[in-house]
């Protein structure tokens, strides 16, 4: 097929020569088909991000995708850790339950065979540890061993036997207060409450002063005066200085009365004072045996005026030991 537009000679001889050389070539392949519509382009994972998308947004999206993918793993790890903690706690609790009652505690035992009626000495006893479930309040413990030394044992003992309080002659029923009263002295009991006996801190063999509070018959006002000084306490309730406190039930260790060692004339004063007013005990240092000659009296007027209070305060500062931190300094007043 000829084309009249291109078959005729042109004005350019070089172009005409090129056409003659190429006139023998033909394109035998079918023409390529062009798509009627451009398919929507979906970038693959490995394709570079579009320049219209912010790089930070791409990073956040990737991180979110990564976390969503690992969430089940984190949940599994957390549950596994929780299960491990619960299992460990259960095992430790079971271990404590098994060991409960089998912890060893020391008790006093017979070091040698002891026959009935023998007076126990320190050489006859020793210490051994036994499970705590077998240790009751009736068993003698090492910190109370001094109570059974020089006491008669009521039953025969074999070496290694744990010692019981009931095996010894010393009991609360065997005590007699009269053995504590010196000749030409008397024991008298006064009623006391907690505050009247230094909050319950008064103990047998302590030294106390007795303060009486009365109504003055002449003026009708209340007065307080020191009645007696440096008085020895024989007993608090049913407990004396030699009472085996381990044999006294805890409910009976508190007391509402105190027995004092006085001479007969002082007993008369104490009995009358208790009838007329209230008595209060003040606790002394066991080495303080000084007695004040000028006792003075406290009345409502002395309380309100404050004159005697100021004088006594200055005296207290000059006589009472001053404690600062872990060290102490005793100040001495001028006479």
Beta strands, E only, the chain: 104-110, 125-131, 186-191, 207-215, 222-236, 239-240, 257-262, 278-283, 298-299, 322-324, 327-329
pLDDT band at 334 (very low <50, low <70, confident <90, very high): very low
Q: Is pLDDT larger for residue 188 or for residue 300?
A: 188
Domain 104-167 part of CATH 1.20.1730.10: no
Mean pLDDT, residues 241-267: 85
Average pLDDT, the chain: 79
pLDDT tens readout for residues 54-88: 555 455 555 554 555 667 777 888 888 888 888 88
pLDDT score of 321 more than 70: no
Residue 259: its pLDDT value, please?
A: 96
Domain edges within the chain: 104-167, 177-296, 304-335
Residue 335: its pLDDT value, please?
A: 40
Please give the helix or strand (H or E) that residue 84 lies within, else none. helix 55-99
DSSP 180: G
Residue 60: its pLDDT value, please?
A: 52
pLDDT score of 280 more than 80: yes
The tokens describing 101, both together, are 């009652």
Contact 162, 130 (CB under 8 A): yes
Residue 90: its pLDDT value, please?
A: 82
pLDDT score of 53 more than 90: no
pLDDT score of 251 more than 70: yes
| Gap between the Cα atoms of 334 and 318, Å rounded | 8
- Residues in a beta bridge with 299: 223
The tokens describing 150, both together, are 């020089």
| Gap between the Cα atoms of 126 and 124, Å rounded | 7
> What percent of the chain clears pLDDT 70, i.e. is strictly above it?
72
Residue recorded with tokens 């009626």 = 117
Mean pLDDT, residues 247-253: 74
Residue 135: its pLDDT value, please?
A: 86
Residues 6+ apart with CB under 8 A from 179: none
């Amino acid at each position: 097929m000829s084309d009249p537009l291109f078959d005729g000679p042109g004005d350019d001889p070089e172009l005409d020569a090129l056409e003659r050389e190429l006139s023998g070539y033909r394109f035998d392949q079918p023409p390529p088909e062009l798509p009627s519509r451009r398919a929507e382009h979906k970038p693959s994972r490995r394709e570079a991000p579009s320049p219209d998308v912010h790089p930070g947004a791409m990073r956040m999206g990737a991180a979110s995708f990564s976390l969503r993918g690992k969430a089940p793993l984190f949940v599994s790890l957390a549950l596994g850790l929780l299960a491990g903690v619960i299992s460990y706690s259960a095992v430790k609790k079971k271990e404590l339950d098994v060991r409960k009652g089998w912890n060893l505690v020391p008790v006093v035992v017979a070091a040698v065979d002891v026959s009935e009626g023998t007076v126990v000495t320190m050489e006859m006893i020793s210490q051994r540890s036994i499970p705590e479930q077998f240790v009751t309040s009736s068993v003698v413990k090492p910190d109370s061993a001094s109570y059974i030394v020089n006491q008669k044992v009521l039953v025969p003992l074999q070496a290694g036997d744990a010692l019981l309080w009931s095996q010894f002659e010393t009991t609360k029923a065997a005590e007699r207060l009269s053995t504590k009263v010196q000749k030409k002295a008397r024991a008298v009991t006064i009623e006391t409450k907690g505050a009247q006996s230094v909050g319950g801190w008064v103990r047998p063999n302590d030294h106390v002063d007795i303060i009486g509070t009365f109504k003055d018959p002449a003026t009708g006002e209340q007065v307080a005066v020191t009645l007696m000084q440096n008085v020895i306490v024989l007993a608090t309730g049913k407990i004396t200085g030699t009472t085996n406190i381990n044999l006294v039930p805890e409910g009976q260790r508190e007391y509402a009365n105190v027995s004092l060692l006085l001479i007969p004339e002082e007993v008369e004063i104490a009995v009358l004072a208790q009838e007329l007013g209230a008595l209060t005990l003040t606790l002394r240092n066991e080495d303080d045996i000084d007695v004040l000659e000028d006792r003075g009296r406290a009345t409502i007027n002395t309380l309100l005026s404050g004159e005697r209070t100021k004088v006594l305060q200055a005296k207290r500062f000059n006589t009472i030991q001053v404690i600062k931190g872990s060290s102490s300094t005793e100040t001495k007043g001028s006479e």
